[in-house]
Amino acid sequence: MFTKKTVKEVDLSGKRVLMRADYNVPAENGVISDDYRLKQNLPTIQYILEQPNTKLIILSHLGRPKSADDKQFSLAPVAKRLSELLQREVRFAPDCIGTQVKKMADELPAGGILLLENVRFHPEEEKNDENFAKAIVESTSGEIFVQDGFGVVHRAHATTDAIAKILMGVAGLLLEKEVDIITNAMENPARPLTVVVGGAKISDKIDFLNNLLDKADCIAVAGAMANTFLLAEGFKVGASLAEPEAVDTAKEILERAREAEKTRDFNFFVPVDAVVSASKEGDQPTRIVDLSSHSLADIQAYPKKPEPPSYEVAETEMILDIGPMSASTIAGAVKMSSTVIWNGTAGIAEVKGIAGASDPFAHATHIIVDAMIGASNNHQNKPYTLVGGGDTDSYVDSQGLRDDFNHVSTGGGASLELMSGKVLPGVNVLWDK
């Protein structure tokens, strides 16, 4: 259960409410291509404005601007899109501190909304500068702080930490929902619980994996991070993206996993086959390398013995997806599960095929996704599916599948840290119930 006060547990009547949102959305030439995070924040906005005579002032960031002159990171397009979604005016301030912001905040009518310019135009934001937080509060005359930017609460910044030490800080409805859903999936899941974890680096997910080893019934590693596990098991990975410096860590995780497999009903899957190519651009032929059992290689070579190239990755080749045997094994585990947590695609799923060919390194991801939500999955037995944000969310969006999952998180780093059992500074600082 969520332990912090929420926006519904305080009196907002007649208050000037300062809310932190996460509007870090993809935008190009002033056009927002994905407004999912904006839409997820709408219930909090609507609730605040339903309270008598409230005024709402919103803080957010966009991207990683080097200076305030980086106008490609202006939140002006967000104000425009937010106005369209809410079907009411959202005023936009050219800064987040200063006399002009004060004037616009003072002129805001009851029921009005003011979005301030990108807080990261000020380097003090990421330094968690107390004086910068004070300047925002003084410029806006904010009376209560609402944190609804789940995607930023794993950072201790001025608008996630310092500001909540100046004003009373409570959670918005999106923040409460995200923390509740993720915590429940980790601590009280319908079982079996299967976790599919991909991504590039094992070093980014050590705590995540170690925490899940005690909680999950099945963990399947995929993506480039699986290459480090293959190195740890003595396989050659050629020119693949891997972390040789993390091999000892991978070995430790594997040892823990193998011990768990002996003592309880638990499985830890490492790929047994892989899709390789000399190029990750999708412009070179692909082939399947039968890494572990050699059964594919045996069948193809019969009656001769398979040649080493059939089960070894060449020095010039890269593993760019897990193979069909691995994907089918994971898909089978997913279909037998009641809860599935998914963080990271199985291969470089964003590379498009050439001349009408299928996406060359997305086959495994397609197979696993179909097991989670697809037509081949008996509707009555579909698992509860939780997507852990970040690059996985981008893939789900590109395929038009967001509505097919039970929950797609708005925060990649925050969801990962929460699932790793870490304290989120932007949540911890809020007032307790």
CATH code for the domain in which residue 258 is found: 3.40.50.1260
Do 214 and 120 lie in one domain? The reply is: no
E strands within 107-181?
A: 113-115, 144-147, 169-171
Q: What is the pLDDT of residue 272?
A: 95
Question: Which amino acids are annotated catalytic?
Answer: 37, 201, 390, 413
Do 25 and 124 lie in one domain? The reply is: yes
pLDDT surpassing 70 at residue 43:
yes
Final residue of a domain: which of 174, 209, 239? 174
The 3-state secondary structure of 25-38, one letter per residue: CCEECCEECCCHHH
In this structure, the strands spanning 384-387 and 407-408 are: parallel
Other CB atoms within a 10 A radius of the CB of residue 432 amount to 7
pLDDT band at 70 (very low <50, low <70, confident <90, very high): confident
Mean pLDDT for 321-327 is: 96
Do 189 and 74 lie in one domain? The reply is: no
Paired tokens of 272: 């047994």
Cβ within 8 Å of residue 359, ≥6 positions away: 282, 349, 351, 352, 353
Paired tokens of 161: 């930490």
Amino acid at 215: K
Final residue of a domain: which of 144, 174, 204? 174
Do 212 and 165 lie in one domain? The reply is: no
Q: What is the pLDDT of residue 44?
A: 98
Q: Is residue 252 part of a domain?
A: yes
The 3-state secondary structure of 55-88, one letter per residue: EEEEECCCCCCCCCCCHHHCCHHHHHHHHHHHCC
Q: Is residue 326 part of a domain?
A: yes
86 closest CA partner among 44, 24, 28: 44
Mean pLDDT for 145-161 is: 98
Q: What is the pLDDT of residue 134?
A: 98
Mean pLDDT for 257-264 is: 96
pLDDT surpassing 90 at residue 5:
yes
Per the model's pLDDT, the better-predicted residue between 20 and 68 turns out to be 20
Rounded to the nearest 10 degrees, the angle between the axes of helix 225-232 and helix 247-263 is 80
Rounded Cα distance between 292 and 391, Å, is 29
Domain span holding position 130: 7-174
pTM value > 0.85: yes
Query: Measured at the alpha carbon of residue 326, what is the angle toward residues 322 and 329, in degrees to the nearest 5?
Result: 150
Write the pLDDT tens digit of every residue in 374-402: 766 555 678 999 998 678 888 898 899 99
pLDDT band at 301 (very low <50, low <70, confident <90, very high): confident
Mean pLDDT for 287-297 is: 85
Write the pLDDT tens digit of every residue in 99-128: 999 999 999 999 999 999 999 999 999 999
| Mean of all residue pLDDT scores within the chain | 94
Rounded Cα distance between 12 and 394, Å, is 35
pLDDT band at 307 (very low <50, low <70, confident <90, very high): confident
% of the chain with per-residue pLDDT over 90: 82
Q: What is the pLDDT of residue 294?
A: 77
Do 165 and 300 lie in one domain? The reply is: no
Mean pLDDT for 295-313 is: 83
Mean pLDDT for 336-356 is: 91
**Minimum mean pLDDT range among 13-22, 93-102, 292-301, 334-343:** 292-301
Rounded Cα distance between 72 and 94, Å, is 14
Other CB atoms within a 10 A radius of the CB of residue 127 amount to 13
120: DSSP letter:
G
Q: What is the pLDDT of residue 179?
A: 97
How many independent structural domains does the chain possess?
A: 2
